[in-house]
Amino acid sequence: MAVPRAVPGDEVEAVVGEVRRGRIGTRLERVLRASPHRVEAPCPHFGRAGDLSPGCGGCSLQALEYSQQLEAKRAWVRRLLVAHGVDGELVLPPLGMARPLHYRNKMEFSFGRDAGGALSLGLHPGGYRHEVLLLERCLLMSEPGFALVRAVHRFADERGLEPLSSRTGEGFLRGLLVREGLRTGERMLDLVTTGLESTTMDGRVVAAAEVARAFRDAVLDAAQRLGAPVSSLYWTRHIAQRGSPTRMEAHHLDGQPVLHEKLHIAGLPPLRFAIHPRAFFQPNTSQAELLYGVVARAAGLDASAPARARLLDLYAGTGTIGLALAPLCREVIGIELVADAVENARANARANGITNARFVCGDVSEALGAEGLDQPGAADLVVVDPPRAGLMGGAVEALTRIAAPRLVYVSCNPASLARDLGPLRAAGFRLRSVQPVDMFPQTAHVENVALLERD
């Protein structure tokens, strides 16, 4: 039983509610004796003891001092690994941030109604998917970026636009995507609507495209007024029809078609990326630079040594890891299931002048077989960065056949990492270390880089 907004060491009074999905719902009523590690949450939407509302669902650890957030994450990873027979001492101290606020380069906000029925643009309260909390601030993103979010809310409210209701399925406005380039200063906004061809604005029925043009004009005006330049504007129609696949129809409204960003990884050449509205890119730029540096060190690659290694980059996504390591390798082969991501990876390789990396589209285990790469000696080094579900569909067996002397496992889910370490160790891999990297301060999420070796 967990108590939201309580921190380790608190003595609290809590109200016990319903059991949902095997978990007992609770509400923090009051703190009887505060933990020495409790701090005042800086966000006004975090919620306080006694509140009937659960508060914003974007952050869950703001009331715990940051050094203890890192300790809690290390303890969590240790518990999961120990439960699977792994020595917990192999989990290293997490790598955190000097300034663990305003770090996200991408935020997705929802339109909806708050508990009082007013139009909202914000995030869902914890555990409440039908309501949207109107945010006055968001400490996860930049202040100029959030000022534009407020401007979009005012535009939608003043023009009488109707948000999509998750209960009835009716309405027009779905959400707002904001992306920012930490290293370039660029900014992209994408208004996401339903697939309706027309809707009501200013009390009259208008074409959806007219709303998009009004959105463009309102944002450009606000950007100039607020001193928050916008380099790219989009309108995306989320077209969902029963019996048909969902389609995302993107319309470029103004500025550049992509957002540019750079990664500066210690000891490696800088990388440039062109990011489309829906393309994957690590949401925390500075920690992504740190993460990929950790991967390079775990891989044992040295810029001062000849580039001799053949690297397999599995679950390659848009190619960030493989491209970062390419200057240190003889050859990089990336495999990724999502076709759009593969095209992005190839484009990123061209943009950075990287000629020793190629990317293959397909399921990891099937593509390895088709490419003749699931054989002993096919690679000197393997990096895997699977989705939250972990290694699936014969991937462990393929890694066993390749028998690379070094395997670096980048994980966004400690539970699936702990599960996958079992068969990998049984296949002859020895776990050397697990390095947590705090990609999402103020939340319970943690990334891990596990180094495995075999003789």
Write the DSSP assignment of 155-224 as a string of letters: HHHHTTPPBPPTTT---SEEEEEEEE-TTT--EEEEEEEES-SEEEETTEEEEHHHHHHHHHHHHHHHHH
Do the Cβ atoms of 306 and 278 come closer than 8 Å? no
Percent of the chain whose pLDDT exceeds 70: 98
Q: Among 25-39, 152-166, 406-420, whose mean pLDDT is lowest? A: 25-39
Q: Report residue 417 CA to chain centroid gap.
A: 17
Do the Cβ atoms of 333 and 311 come closer than 8 Å? yes
Give per-residue pLDDT as tens, 430-441: 999 999 999 999
Confidence of residue 49 (pLDDT cuts 50, 70, 90): low
Q: State mean pLDDT over 300-325.
A: 93
Q: What is the pLDDT of residue 53?
A: 65
- Kindly tell me if the per-residue pLDDT of 287 is higher than 80: yes
Q: State mean pLDDT over 255-272.
A: 95
Do the Cβ atoms of 378 and 421 come closer than 8 Å? no
The two tokens of residue 346 are 């190839």
Percent of the chain whose pLDDT exceeds 90: 81
Q: Tell me which residue of 392, 440, 76 sits closest to 384, measured CA to CA.
A: 392
169 C-beta neighbours (distance < 10 Å), count: 9
84-97+284-453 and 106-259: identical CATH topology: no
Q: What is the pLDDT of residue 56?
A: 86
Q: Report residue 402 CA to chain centroid gap.
A: 30
Specify the residue for token string 């994980």.
411
In this structure, CATH architecture of domain 106-259: Beta Barrel (2.40)
Residue 82 has φ and ψ, to the nearest 5°, of -60, -40
Confidence of residue 272 (pLDDT cuts 50, 70, 90): very high
Q: Tell me which residue of 322, 302, 306 sits closest to 314, measured CA to CA.
A: 322
Domain boundary assignment for the chain: 11-64, 84-97+284-453, 106-259
Q: Show which residues are catalytic.
A: 412
Q: What is the pLDDT of residue 27?
A: 79
Residue 163 has φ and ψ, to the nearest 5°, of -80, 155
Give per-residue pLDDT as tens, 196-215: 999 999 999 999 999 999 99
Confidence of residue 86 (pLDDT cuts 50, 70, 90): very high
Q: What is the pLDDT of residue 363?
A: 95
Confidence of residue 143 (pLDDT cuts 50, 70, 90): very high
In this structure, CATH architecture of domain 84-97+284-453: 3-Layer(aba) Sandwich (3.40)
Do the Cβ atoms of 234 and 212 come closer than 8 Å? no
Helix axes 395-402, 414-426, angle to 10 degrees: 40
> Is the whole model's pTM more than 0.75, yes or no?
yes
Interacting residues of 364 by C-beta distance below 8 A, sequence separation 6+: 314, 315, 335, 337, 393, 395, 398
